[in-house]
Amino acid sequence: MSIRTLLLTTASLASLLLTAGCDTAYVTYRVASASTAMQADCYPDGVPDSIKDDSSTLKAASSLYIFEGPEGARYLEFGDVALEGSVDGGDMSFAGMTLDVEYPSDEIETRTEVTHDVRITKEGKFVTGTYTLTSNVSCTGDADLCDAVPTGICTSTTEFTGSRVSTDLKRDL
């Protein structure tokens, strides 16, 4: 694609967004996340000695993108995930779930449900929040076969803080 075509396409997109009244269609936050805290239920035999006393003051840097979809829907994008949610003043919440059903044999069925829940509080240009990831694995069918399948609930929580940054809507298409 030539630079002239790219500039015209970008200008057309920006014009379309502005004429559609989407002045806040895309908001970017840079955030620093603390180490993820995994609950004890994530370890079937208890928290391993090799990690139980570990700690870190390092933060992971990333970006969160919040954008508006059709009919006022709001989406939070981070990594390769987008969650639908709502914005109510300074409080934002986003959630999503996946369900993976497997049949390892004719006698059993396993279900893995993973729930993502993100809560964000905005104060001016700053945000604080919590990302909770819950995985629930269950097995139904022959009890002897299910005994061999690791099941249970695992919840991990990540706290983050950050600020809004300027967003350049001129991007390669």
3-class secondary-structure state, position 24: coil
| pLDDT for the residue numbered 47 | 86
Q: Which residue has the tokens 């006698």?
A: 107
Res 32: pLDDT:
93
Q: Are 132 and 120 in contact (CB under 8 A)?
A: no
Helix (H) or strand (E) holding 145: helix 143-146
Q: Is the pLDDT of residue 53 over 50?
A: yes
Q: Whole-model pTM?
A: 0.76
- Residue scoring higher pLDDT (46 or 75): 75
| Cα 125 from Cα 91, distance rounded (Å) | 13
The mean pLDDT of the chain is: 82
pLDDT score, position 170: 52
Q: Specify the pLDDT at position 169.
A: 56
